[in-house]
Structure 1
Amino acid sequence: MREKLKQICPLLLGIAFASCQQKKEYNADLLIKDAVVYTVDSNFTIANTIVVNGGKIVAVGDADSLENKYKARKVVDAGGKAVYPGFIDAHAHFYEYGMSLQEVHLEGTQSWKEITDSVQNFAKRNTEGWIIGRGWDQNDWKDKQFPNKAKLDSLFPVRPVILSRVDGHAVIVNQAALNIAGIKPGQTIAGGQIETINGKLTGILVDNATHLVQHKIPEPTDALVQEAFTDAQRNCFAVGLTTVDDCGLPYTMINTITQLQHKGALKMRMYVMLSDNPDNFEYLFKHGVYKTPGLDVRAFKVYADGALGSRGACLLKPYADKPGWNGFLLSSQKHFEEVATKLAAKGFQMCTHAIGDSANRVMLKIYAKALKGKNDRRWRIEHSQIVSPEDVKLFGEYNIIPSVQPTHATSDMYWAGQRLGAQRLKTAYAYKDLLKQNGWIPLGTDFPVENINPMFTFYAATERMDQKGFPAGGFQKENALSRVEALKGMTIWAAKANFEEKEKGSIEPGKYADFVILDQDIMKAAGTQLPKVKVLKTYVNGEKVYEKK
């Protein structure tokens, strides 16, 4: 027996030694090969192999040299498919989108009746609490007037209902909700509108007036909040998003997001702008920039005006389809000046929603005064939608970043001319002109206002058409972006807008291993194919977080 053990032991030791040696040979977690890798580095290099270790990219190049140098625990053959940096949505409402997935879906509805039918069906399945919905747009209806609450009152005399317009800048509520908020006919509010016709409330509330009811909605449970985040994440990973800018959250969300990321429930990277609120200012001024690999908080979201669709955008001259009405600013100019002064002194980023040419002019001049010339503060104007031609140069003179959403142009083009008239429309949604000011421009969607899919962003930015190919030749095509510019706007330029270009936005050694594999090469596919492109796989930190079934 002893003799047998003497013979077996060296053999076992040899096997163990060989096993240890084999384990030591691994010097990478993942190797992607046979790919067309658009690195989006400074030279826009195209490679065919990526090596990942410890959640970061360690090498990019050709298979012959990298396969000899690295032994990876997992090797993925991309089969010649195109690989891009993980897409970054530079302007979205991620949490709000997640919450909307728990509510009545009203996107694409074609009439008020279709909406009330949808609300009825939802109420039958969800029998308690407030009825909350989002996504209606009267511009899509045959009758393009704002609806009236009468039908909601008859269906729900006691249960409160609030239905947000697609842009979030207007709501319709029933009388039960108005009663809870204590809103009376003839009541007014600065920066908002409580619609009254013939002395009666219609249920339409615009901009700041929406908060009167929204603040009465009970806080969601922790379980619902987690479900909202994870549902939103699932859908976003499926379209190739790996970072989202969430525009306008309370500071209390920092701890919620951190906890979800810490326990692995939330893997989406987030750049969070805190909303314009004294409590948020006090918190971040006291604690400073909050930065982890998954969460970056250093910015504040301010609202200058409302939306064009609800005629809340602040214009220099009256609306073409509503004489005497210019829209309005949501706060006084003094307030915006005070916020800009504070943020400039404290070193935080200011990101201001501005749609109308008057709102853009006001904010550009306030920014200019606070920034005092050339700088690298990366203060942003979110949307930069209608900018007077004489004001465009201010973006370049003060390094102000226009953060735009290309699908707004192709969603609004059917009716924007009615609001603005031909002359103002010609210089609206002018993304190419805005790009020229600083040489770079971040792109987003503003979801859930628009669809979450970055392929729609890419298509709208480059082709300037809807998905039916309208209009022929593109909407104001002179302001289309090239495919290279659009890809940069969704990756490295979006990262730069967040001060994160050294850690993401391109496929380069040292950066996070966030990338996507698509079923078509968007740099070469026919324009008509771009909205149809699908994500095959999405990786965050070198971990596959989505795979097309």
Structure 2
Amino acid sequence: MMKNILIAVLLSTMLFSCNAVERQEADLLVFNAEVYTVNDNFDIVEAFVVKEGKILETGTAEALREKFEFGEQLDAQGRTVLPGFIDGHAHFYRLGLQQQKVDLTGTKSFDEVVERIVAFQKEHNDDFITGRGWDQNDWEVKEFPIKDTLDKLFPDTPIAVTRIDGHALLVNQAALDLAGITVDTPAQGGAIEVKDGKLTGILIDNPMGLVANAQPEPSIEEQVNALLEAEKISFEYGLTTVVDAGIDKNTVELIDSLQQRNELKIRLYAMLSNTPENLDHYLGGDPVKTERLNVRSVKFYGDGALGSRGAALKAPYSDHAGHYGALLSPVEDFRKIAERVAASKFQMNTHAIGDSANVVVLETYKELLSDGEDRRWRVEHAQIIDEEDFKYFSKNIIPSVQPTHATSDMYWAEDRLGPQRIKGAYAFKRLLDQAGVIALGTDFPVEEVSPFYTFYSSVARKDLENYPEGGYMPEQALSREETLKGMTIWAAYSNFEEDEKGSIEPGKFADFIILDRNIMTVGEDEIPNVEVLQTWVNGERVFSRE
């Protein structure tokens, strides 16, 4: 009898030991969650396993516990879990720099702009005052300001404050003098505004560079702080990858050095600014690719912005007779750059707002991209498309749009374009139907950083005051599933990164977020108020609100 008992105990111990050996080691189990995987079937699961910074398996907690041994377990308490958001078009470095400058967003008059500049300077006492965010379309008098007040208050301190869209600049006389700008300065690809024979202080598009060249460069410490501050803000909103739309070689190298030292943990996709130095350095070789940095695209500016009437249109502006906007470079220069990029291993991404700029970009892309060639060139903004030009979009010519532009511009866009042309503007649903994919972003700091505003504008086509009832051009709204894909897997596709991020699937980076409510099912009006509770990158918690 005793012998049988000993044999039974021994067998039981052996079986237990075998089962224990069979269980694989893993770092993290996320369970008790509503996980939107955003895989091909758009499956929703309850749990997933992370090992060495990547998703190992998805399923039920019960099944995963039988198979794995975990170093850590995270109870999501029934919350919604999504892949980390990817901002398909933003200005990450610029956002960080903006935190060190005067913030003019939301100003309701030029008087308020002046008040903020004065208050900022009392605190900072800068040698050159810079800032961003004013928008004359939000003022009672919807006209560009003039510099006279700034000249009186700051006769010796240069001031350069950028319009919200980044395509117009207000400067005082001290800044004009420093940049060497007079009424006789030529202004190709933009404008230097003159009234009654005098400079007003308004510069549009290319001439803004004259002032930028006269500004002091930020110190290395200021640059590092800018990147870290931008990362902090991004993580708070659940952004785990950001596409930085236009940065230079030196900034790329600083980002890479910080990431290599694990001081900067966010993933960045870099669009190189179209400068000779950047093109000469990168285009002759392979893209630069690490797990956190991808440098494989060139950013070209086709035209200006609609708000400052710099967007290049096929027919004159409806509210400015005889004015067409402008291409920022001659067509032949754009074509030369496009041919050079086509001969390289890099992607081309072109800012195009007006229908004239868009058709130049689209026809050039079509001519240079061979059938069957996987190049995924992008049209950034694709804002106003002529009826006959939608046909050019595809999975190889991708629309990259920012939904909040529609709800920011809707108050005055038809004034600029007229009732017929507006039908091809902010046409996100039509662009998706034609291309099969669409990348969604914010264009921050032009717009707010919050991806929840992006989601809401895409789905509801309303501003934060729930205007207009029924939505702006509601036929162009995207569904919640389409919107989530545009902020995750399709954005990853547009960066050639769909095999490593954009969904919660085995083999992909463990970049995910936990929300305080289910953005896929809450009432539409609640979407802008959704908050991120936790942000994880590479299986590491990088932000927690709790």
Which category of TM-score, normalised to the shorter sequence, fits these structures?
Answer: over 0.9
Whether contact under 8 Å (2:327, 2:357) holds in the other structure is: yes
CA–CA distance in structure 1, aligned partners of residues 230 and 160 of structure 2: 21
Other-structure match for 2:472: 475
Whether contact under 8 Å (1:185, 1:199) holds in the other structure is: yes
Correspondence list, 1:91-110, <5 A = 91-110=89-108
Deviations 1:448-507 (A, max 9, x none): 001111111111001101111111100000010011000000000000000000000000
The alpha carbon displacement at 1:426 in A equals 1.7
Amino acid at match of 1:112: F
Other-structure match for 1:6: none
Whether contact under 8 Å (2:283, 2:345) holds in the other structure is: no
Q: Which moved more, 1:185-194 or 1:401-410?
A: 185-194
The alpha carbon displacement at 1:210 in A equals 0.5
Other-structure match for 2:456: 459
Matched, 1:239 2:237: yes
Other-structure match for 1:407: 404
Other-structure match for 2:379: 381
Q: 1:44 aligns with which of 42, 45, 49?
A: 42
CA–CA distance in structure 2, aligned partners of residues 207 and 486 of structure 1: 31
Correspondence list, 1:24-423, <5 A = 27-396=25-394, 399-423=396-420
Matched, 1:436 2:463: no
Deviations 1:357-377 (A, max 9, x none): 000011111111111444321
Q: 2:511 aligns with which of 503, 509, 514?
A: 514
The alpha carbon displacement at 1:24 in A equals 11
CA–CA distance in structure 1, aligned partners of residues 213 and 439 of structure 2: 32
Q: Secondary structure at the match of 1:346?
A: coil
CA–CA distance in structure 1, aligned partners of residues 484 and 228 of structure 2: 26
Other-structure match for 1:496: 493
CA–CA distance in structure 2, aligned partners of residues 224 and 141 of structure 1: 33
Whether contact under 8 Å (1:26, 1:73) holds in the other structure is: no
Amino acid at match of 2:519: I
Deviations 1:416-462 (A, max 9, x none): 01111111112210001000112111100100001111111111001
The alpha carbon displacement at 1:263 in A equals 1.8
Whether contact under 8 Å (1:248, 1:274) holds in the other structure is: yes
Other-structure match for 2:4: none
Instruction: Give runs of ≥4 in structure 1 deviating > 6 Å.
Output: 22-26
Whether contact under 8 Å (2:24, 2:67) holds in the other structure is: no
CA–CA distance in structure 1, aligned partners of residues 263 and 134 of structure 2: 31
CA–CA distance in structure 1, aligned partners of residues 188 and 386 of structure 2: 25
Whether contact under 8 Å (1:186, 1:199) holds in the other structure is: no
Other-structure match for 1:17: none
Amino acid at match of 1:89: D
CA–CA distance in structure 1, aligned partners of residues 312 and 228 of structure 2: 36
CA–CA distance in structure 2, aligned partners of residues 64 and 75 of structure 1: 13
Q: What do you get for the CA RMSD once the two structures are aligned?
A: 1.4
Other-structure match for 2:8: none
Q: Secondary structure at the match of 1:143?
A: coil
Amino acid at match of 2:299: K
Deviations 1:111-157 (A, max 9, x none): 00001000000001111321111000000000000000011111111
Q: Secondary structure at the match of 1:32?
A: strand
Structure 1 residue runs without a partner (length 5+): 1-21
Whether contact under 8 Å (1:88, 1:505) holds in the other structure is: yes
TM-score, length-scaled by structure 2: 0.95
CA–CA distance in structure 2, aligned partners of residues 392 and 24 of structure 1: 55
Give the total of aligned pairs: 528
**Fraction of identical pairs, as percent:** 52
Amino acid at match of 2:148: A
Whether contact under 8 Å (1:516, 1:537) holds in the other structure is: yes
CA–CA distance in structure 2, aligned partners of residues 81 and 464 of structure 1: 26
Q: Secondary structure at the match of 1:272?
A: strand
CA–CA distance in structure 2, aligned partners of residues 548 and 292 of structure 1: 29
